[in-house]
Structure 1
């Protein structure tokens, strides 16, 4: 193991994005030899992570087509981290200069946009790290050699992008690589930390830095309605980041939001009527001759983004200025019992509520097609032309595989 790490570090000094002979050798070490060695230790590694040996995920990547500056080999639970762009995992990250390699408890630092990889916002990565570290504080206190910051000396943005995703790491220098026994013991230790994060994530409906669960659900539903195949979804209930809310959990959160909002307005002397079951808003408030139409959104997230239906937008624009938006954010959801329990939450009220176009983001479109119109002849003619004329083969653009 130490010999293979040393060989990769030696080749980092001659890194190029081109698939040279040296980069081909590096690719064999990263994609084949190191993963094969770790698979030979899968029983003990899987035990440290708390999964079955045949479930343990091990993979190495150095770029498809173009060669990445910082190659990596990661160990993970595929159910919790279905792709390298999502979830938490333990990963070997090789510095761009080849003088050190880190064994890092890290996370997906990029997102796939459909055409390329885009770096996640640093503030979002730091928020997720801030959630993770306190959970590991007791386990981390047993070692004095752990690093909360890593330095990869990368020249490329993607290479530098791994640094803010680090939760905790062990640094190995090229001159002082430990023996295979020590390396494997360290890996088992880091997998124990990863197991703790996975256990906490299973109970957490929202991790700071992630998109709101409601936004993720809306995007998934829109993609499903459009017939798109999702990336990074491994099983029902699992999203690219975090778990889906069940129907009971959504109802508990919604109910908590309405209850908090109702109490807030009642204290101010409003007569509160819950009309959510029959209207496109949640609360109708009356106080003398005053009327207020209130939309309530409860969420376990920080409340930066919420989902509005077209009817909600149209109605609230009609009701303005006699309207309000109430966000009850940071709701705590206890999902350990037979029934979910929502509690807590912080209230933010905007009234009057004027909905500006620049504050709305389109998640999907309803597109009126030619089907059913009186232009079947033109469509059929176009199809016939396509069948007769040869088409230029599409170009395939390859992008590096990144975390």
Structure 2
């Protein structure tokens, strides 16, 4: 392992975006040889992580050869791609002077045509969240660093990796340790990764992640479609009782506000494609209510809800009650607080809608 890391760094000094013999050799090391060595360590790594099976992959190109290649250790359930979730990764500096073993995260998103960097403030909030989980005494982090330098200049991927780093160990080209030290360091990093994964599995809200209602809706779609690849964690994040408590709290907050505004309000959520019917004089509103424990950046809408509000505009409204507090220890669960954001009339912006599934007629019944 030591020799292979050194060879990649030496090849970095001959970097080009073209598939030259040097870059072809670099690719073989990143994607195959280093990955194979790491797979031999997986049984021990899985033991210290304590979160189920781990996988290894290396990448050195998406089109042109990447300036900063990498090989990562990850859970395929929790991080199905390098743009999603958390992982431990070897990042090779642009100038070949160092390789960083980093507890890191997805720092880009794919927009259908290119990888777009995630916003720095959001990445930093996630870094702070992850570091808070580790509760690291100084003795446990000796030799580790919270900042890394990949010498990528203005390279967006390199800057993203540097921002997204939680904890890292840097190895200079002339000081890469023996394999037993490399494996021990990797175990330490993977143990931290396990802590992050366990928190992800149980936390209601994680900075930069979809709220639990959104995650559960997407998981339900995946299960319905028989798609296991995108599933993360150990299952649904909210129980039926918890969902009901959040929904009831949101409806209560929205109803109270509408009453203060002079409306007569009826809860019609059990029988209609909207939640509240609000009447004030000759004004009749259909009101969609969404509750979430998250900051509310994303909500789930059904096809019927979208169709109805497109048809009923401008006699419609959207009430999002975000940052609801949920006491999961109470029986039944109790939801409280929440911040109401109210939009009336609500013009559904179809450019903000993202389909998460399609119904397809196979023709088998013809």
Query: What TM-score, normalized to structure 2?
Result: 0.80
1:39 and 1:91 map into 2 onto residues whose CA distance is 13
How big is each residue's C-alpha offset from its partner over 1:273-302, in whole Å with a ceiling of 9 and x where there is no partner?
322112333234467887654321101221
Name the stretch that deviates more: 322-331 or 69-78.
322-331
Give the total of aligned pairs: 361
Matched, 1:37 2:29: no
Residue matched to 1:131? 129
* Structure 1 counterpart of 2:208: 209
Quote the residue 2:345 is aligned against: 353
CA distance in 2, matches of 1:365, 1:170: 41
Of 270, 276, 280, the residue aligned with 2:269 is 276
- Asked if the contact 1:302/1:329 (under 8 Å) is kept, the reply is yes
State the match for 2:230 in structure 1.
233
Aligned to 1:61: 59
Of 74, 83, 102, the residue aligned with 2:100 is: 102
Which residue of 2 is the match for residue 22 of structure 1?
22
Alpha-carbon distance in structure 2 between the residues aligned to 1:264 and 1:181: 63
The answer to whether the 8 Å contact 1:49/1:194 transfers is: yes
Query: Match for residue 73 of structure 2?
Result: 75
Aligned partners of 2:307 and 2:91: how far apart in 1? 50
Aligned twin of 1:190: 189
Specify every segment of 5 or more residues in structure 1 that has no aligned partner in the other structure, as ranges: 372-403
Q: CA RMSD in A?
A: 3.8
Q: Is the 2:86–2:104 contact (alpha carbons within 8 Å) kept by the matching residues of 1?
A: yes
- Using the TM superposition, give the Cα deviation of residue 93 of structure 1 relative to its aligned residue in structure 2, in angstroms: 0.5
**Measured at CA, do residues 51 and 111 of structure 1 come closer, stay the same or move farther in structure 2, by a change above 3 Å?**
same
1:261-272 alignment, distance < 5 Å: 261-265=254-258, 272=265
Contact persistence 1:205–1:300 (CA under 8 A):
yes
Measure how far apart 1:49 and its partner are: 0.8
Q: Deviations over 1:109-130 (max 9, x none)?
A: 2334455544334343333223
Alpha-carbon distance in 2 for matches of 1:45, 1:216 = 28
**Structure 1 residues 338, 180: CA separation in 2 closer, same or farther (over 3 Å shift)?**
farther
Contact 2:204 2:293 (C-alpha < 8 Å) held by counterparts: yes
Q: CA deviation at 1:36?
A: 2.8
| 3-state DSSP of counterpart to 1:70 | strand
**Are the aligned partners of 1:313 and 1:355 in contact in 2 as well (CA < 8 Å)?**
no
The answer to whether the 8 Å contact 1:261/1:328 transfers is yes
Asked whether 1:255 is paired with 2:256, we answer no
Q: d(CA) in 2 for partners of 1:168 and 1:113? A: 28
Matches within 5 A, 1:305-344: 305-309=298-302, 311-312=304-305, 324-333=317-326, 342-344=335-337
Q: Residue 391 of structure 1 aligns with which residue?
A: none
Match of 1:297 among 283, 290, 300: 290
Corresponding residue number in structure 1 for 2:177: 178
CA distance in structure 1 between the partners assigned to 2:50 and 2:300 by the alignment: 37
- Contact 1:49–1:192 (8 Å) recurs in 2: yes
Is the contact made by 1:126 and 1:209 (CA closer than 8 Å) also made in structure 2?
no
State the secondary structure of the residue aligned to 1:41.
helix
> Does the CA contact (< 8 Å) of 2:124 and 2:164 recur in 1?
yes
Tell me the alpha carbon deviations over residues 136-165 of structure 1, each in whole angstroms, 9 at most, x when there is no partner: 234577324432232212254334332222
- Larger Cα-atom Rg: 1
Name the SS of the counterpart of 1:85 in structure 2. coil
Say which is worse superposed, 308-317 or 269-278, in terms of deviation.
308-317
**Structure possessing the higher relative contact order (Cα contacts under 8 Å, 6 or more residues apart):** 1
Q: Distance in 2 between matches of 1:272 and 1:65?
A: 57
Give the whole-Å Cα distance in 1 for the aligned partners of 2:54 and 2:303: 44
Whether the 8 Å CA contact 2:310–2:348 is kept in 1: the answer is no
Offset of 1:88 from its aligned partner?
A: 0.8
Asked if the contact 1:302–1:330 (Cα under 8 Å) also holds between the matched residues in 2, the reply is yes
Distance 1:210 1:301, change over 3 A: same
**Whole-angstrom CA distance in 2 between matches of 1:273 and 1:200:** 39
For 1:380, the equivalent position in structure 2 comes to: none
Matches within 5 A, 1:360-399: 360-361=352-353, 363=355
Q: What per-residue deviation string (whole Å, max 9, x for no partner) do you get for residues 62-119 of structure 1?
A: 2266322111111122232233222211111111011111111111223344555443
